[in-house]
Amino acid sequence: DSGVTQTPKHLITATGQRVTLRCSPRSGDLSVYWYQQSLDQGLQFLIQYYNGEERAKGNILERFSAQQFPDLHSELNLSSLELGDSALYFCASSPRAGVQPQHFGDGTRLSIL
Amino acid sequence: AQKITQTQPGMFVQEKEAVTLDCTYDTSDPSYGLFWYKQPSSGEMIFLIYQGSYDQQNATEGRYSLNFQKARKSANLVISASQLGDSAMYFCAIAGGGNKLTFGTGTQLKVEL
């Protein structure tokens, strides 16, 4: 158990819909990261938050947005969903923002029908 | 920009034998970290080992060791005394100052009796 909690584990929805993925970091971790794992793109960094502030952005679509709340949990919002958004979405956390190991949650498997 | 290359899509090893998974990297960051993660068929991402670019000694964590050769830009993972439970996909990753991970395409390891 990494200590990072992601909900839900599975999500099935239709094209055009909007979903919210939730992440609770390990106790004491201030930095949260979101990654997408798909068959065609592999594992890709989406976005990082540190203590409530956006820290870095990767290949995140404009239809996607995220935030980190005062209690440090984070949410990833995906809207106007397309078939290609089907993927495993991971949240990871680390104590600080510098180079150090990140511990991953079990992921949310999103299936778009 | 950072890049990870894992040239072995699949590897087989006999139980109790040692195995080396290859990883080469490219980065323009003067300071960086190298990581290995394990992804079993159940899907979760498990942190295995971390090597900082300025660390003088190779990292070890139980049966895992990281063979870091900075001049060759390689960071191979060595698993000693392989077990059936080591069968999984293994990802090498690199992070620069911002700690966003760039992953390789992975190596599928199968441990046989």
A39 interfacial to chain B (CB closer than 8 Å):
no
Identify the closest residue of chain A to B99 by CA–CA distance.
Answer: A99
Mean pLDDT of the region B1-9: 95
What's residue A59's pLDDT? 86
B30 interfacial to chain A (CB closer than 8 Å):
no
Question: Chain B 71-100, CB below 8 Å of chain A: which residues?
Answer: 91, 93, 95-100
Q: Is A82 helix (H, G, I), strand (E, B) or coil?
A: coil
**Under an 8 A CB cutoff, do A103 and B100 touch?**
no
Asked whether the predicted pLDDT for residue B7 surpasses 90, the reply is: yes
Cis peptide leading into residue A8 (ω within 30°): yes
**Contacts for A76-80: CB closer than 8 Å, 24+ residues apart:** A76/A20, A76/A21, A76/A23, A76/A34, A76/A46, A76/A47, A77/A18, A77/A19, A77/A20, A77/A21, A78/A18, A78/A19, A78/A20, A78/A21, A78/A110, A79/A18, A80/A16, A80/A18
Beta-bridge partner residues of B24: B5, B74
What's residue B66's pLDDT? 98
Mean pLDDT of the region B71-85: 97
Q: Is A4 helix (H, G, I), strand (E, B) or coil?
A: coil
Q: What is the pLDDT of residues A9-52, one digit of tens each?
A: 999 999 999 999 999 999 999 999 999 999 999 999 999 999 99
Collect all residues with Cβ–Cβ distance below 8 Å to B21 and sequence separation of at least 6: B6, B8, B11, B36, B76, B77, B78, B79, B90, B92, B107, B109
B45 interfacial to chain A (CB closer than 8 Å):
yes
Asked whether the predicted pLDDT for residue B62 surpasses 90, the reply is: yes
Asked whether the predicted pLDDT for residue B60 surpasses 90, the reply is: yes
